[in-house]
Structure 1
Amino acid sequence: MKKDIEIPKVEGVYVAAVKVFNKDLNVDEWNAYIINDKDIDLEMVLIVSKGLSKDKKTAVMRHKLEKLPAKSFAKIEYLQDEVLALVNTFEVSFFEDNKMFDKSFVFKSNTINEKAYQPIPTMGVQGVLVK
């Protein structure tokens, strides 16, 4: 029975933490983004995010995008400096060609920093990427 269940592998979808300049507050801040590097639109994208450590945890945040077009990205949420020391998890579910996909993207504690910069697909910037 379990062997008959097909769990499709998620490819070409990423979560990235990118430091951007907030003109209104005149500060640099970290934001989490979902990236669709595929040539097909994603539909009904659901994202559940949370941060955890041994003795701390954040509130669970839920986000929904009706559609994430091919080769595009969308901001998920602002990441406060205090949560960068936590393990930050983004559970992402979406439909592609009427098939449901699901993947957990995890930033380990203290890995969101400028030393971990790498090129971010589709966005054309540097940041911290989870595949």
Structure 2
Amino acid sequence: MIKDLHPNVVKDIAVAVALEGESVESKTWYVYLINLKDVPLETVLITSKGYGEKNGEQVKTSVLRHSFPVIPPKSFKLIEPIDEATFGLNNEYWLSYYIGKDIFDKKFIFLPESIVDGNFIKLPVVNKPGVMIL
């Protein structure tokens, strides 16, 4: 019976952290969901949290929940702002969505210190510098 189920593999979906702006005092960062598919994503749910070790102690951030009824094809959606202070933690985004009657889900994790200039690319669709996980 399990052999009859087809795996719902998440492809052409990305979560990205983009640098929005810079001043002398700070940088402004946002997290985006990027739909690179030719079909819309429906009933999109995302949870986000940070966790890890900082200064020898375990740290956890609040769990935030986001929902979007539809994300059109070849588009992006702002998930949330992100503070540079959390870049030393694991930043996890758990995505769930429907395409037709099929449900898909995937966990995207930005590892500590992975959001650095050396990992920047020009983000597709968003057209800003940042770090992306497919």
TM-score with structure 1 setting the length: 0.91
Q: Give the SS at the match of 2:87.
A: helix
Secondary structure of the corresponding residue to residue 85 of structure 1: coil
- Equivalent AA in structure 1 for residue 19 of structure 2: K
User: Which residue matches 2:16?
Assistant: 16
Q: Deviations over 1:64-94 (max 9, x none)?
A: 0001011110111111121111001100000
Q: Distance in 2 between matches of 1:14 and 1:39?
A: 14
In structure 2, distance between residues paired with 1:124 and 1:105: 20
Identical aligned residues as a percent: 33
Q: Superposition RMSD on alpha carbons, in Å?
A: 1.7
Give the structure 2 partner of residue 89 of structure 1: 92
Give structure 1 stretches of 5+ with no counterpart: none
Distance 1:22 1:117, change over 3 A: closer
TM-score by length of 2: 0.89
CA contact (8 A) 2:20 2:128 kept: no
Question: What amino acid is aligned across from residue 122 of structure 2 in structure 1?
Answer: P
Name the structure 2 match of 1:103. 106
Which residue is equivalent to 1:61?
Answer: 64
Count of residue pairs the alignment pairs up: 129
Gaps in structure 2 of 5+ consecutive residues: none
SS of equivalent to 2:11? coil
